[in-house]
Copies of this chain bind each other. A is one copy, B any other.
Amino acid sequence: MTTTPTSAARPDDLRRHNRALVLRRLHVSGPSTRAALAAETGLNRSTIKALVDDLAENGVVAERVPTRRTGAGRPSLLVLPQPNAVVVLAVDIRVDQVAMALVGLGGQILGRCSWGLRAETRVPRETLTKIVDNCELLIEEAGVEVAAVGASAPGVVRRADGLVHEAPNLQWTNVPLGAWLGKALDLPAYVANDAELGALAEHLRGAARGIDDVVYIGADVGVGGGVISSNAPLRGTDGYVGEIGHMVVRPDGLPCYCGSQGCWETEVGEAALIRALGLPDDAPRGVIAAELHQLATQPAELMQRLGEFAQWLAIGLCNLVNLLCPRLVVLGDLFTELPPKLIEHVTDLVRKRSMVSRALGGVRIVTSSLRNDVKLLGAAELAFEQVLATR
């Protein structure tokens, strides 16, 4: 299928484009031989040689003779991305904690820290100050130079400038997080919705690697979703990503703070799961996980207590599958604790109720493989996207 051209191409763009292509390949797929790079990018060997030589001269990659030789003749040199050569800072802001990491070229975590948030420490300015302090400590410890910062926030984010328009569970409204981070750290700063970054991370480094059409759903206090469609992140007007958790699944359901009622979040978010399990309202994450772990061995009891929860989960997933035709759905955060039997049951329900799922021969539903690091890695990739394209 051809694509419709939307902007002019110039000879000067070629080299930069191809350099970014090779660098990106190494970042995402790891060490490769020159021959493999040529095969995978479609560039000829002499172009690859020139690009790699230049990257090596700048210390961004190193080359060595592979230890295991394949076939006769001169072996193709192995090109290794150098983690410390390009480093970004990743920040994952959640309702109950902030996690930070330095991530190097190739996706390796070079240092990390985290701290808890409570209602009184969740104020934007205080959070920012702590991020800046910890950033300095992390950089000092790792002894690296940071090229950019990527941050994840649980709310409606304007991609162009990283304005957090509304993050209801943090009680943040119109916080210019991107501008603040950029200024305070003196770095290019990028901010995105947490579930969008979950989708990005699973797509590049997790359960959805190599799959072009993916929906990621994260359930924390709220429920959010991110979409990879035709191998690219789905964004709407001004770069906003959707609020999947506020899809109405039960028109006569509980009122939601968003102004609607019966939102998916109110039916399958943390509070709903706690209700379904019959746990106290303030049950901590560990208790919920332990309860689910125990239920996993009692199928009858599991279905009795979580049967209705599964129905609502399935209805929302059906809607997403019918709208977006993904090959794979990845469930993250709290949902990673759901027993496999329940996931199977939900998958069956989706297949029965979704004509698109049937057209696709059944959509797979799995839990996140990156688990707790998913948004941190997504935030790093958000920064790498920009850094590697212009390197």
Contact = CB atoms under 8 A, between A and B. Distances in A.
A72 interface: no
A362 to B, nearest CB: 11
A156 B42 CA distance: 34
A107 to B, nearest CB: 15
A319 B247 contact: yes
A300 interface: no
A242 interface: yes
Contacts of A259: 352-355, 358
A58 to B, nearest CB: 19
A9 B5 contact: no
Contact of A324 (B4, B41, B236, B248): B236
Interface string A48-86: 000000000000000000000000000000000000000
A276 interface: no
Given A249-B248, A251-B315, A354 B260 contact: yes
Interface string A20-63: 11001000000000000000011100000000000000000000
Interface string A225-245: 100011110111111111110
A192 to B, nearest CB: 11
A8 B322 contact: no
A359 B315 contact: no
A7 interface: yes
A2 interface: yes
27 contacts: A2-B385, A2-B389, A5-B21, A5-B24, A8-B21, A9-B17, A11-B11, A158-B359, A213-B236, A236-B326, A237-B325, A238-B325, A240-B359, A241-B325, A242-B322, A242-B324, A243-B322, A243-B355, A244-B322, A244-B323, A246-B322, A247-B323, A248-B249, A248-B319, A251-B315, A259-B358, A323-B323
The 9 closest A-B pairs by CB, nearest first: A236-B325, A2-B389, A242-B323, A8-B42, A260-B353, A240-B325, A5-B21, A237-B327, A258-B355
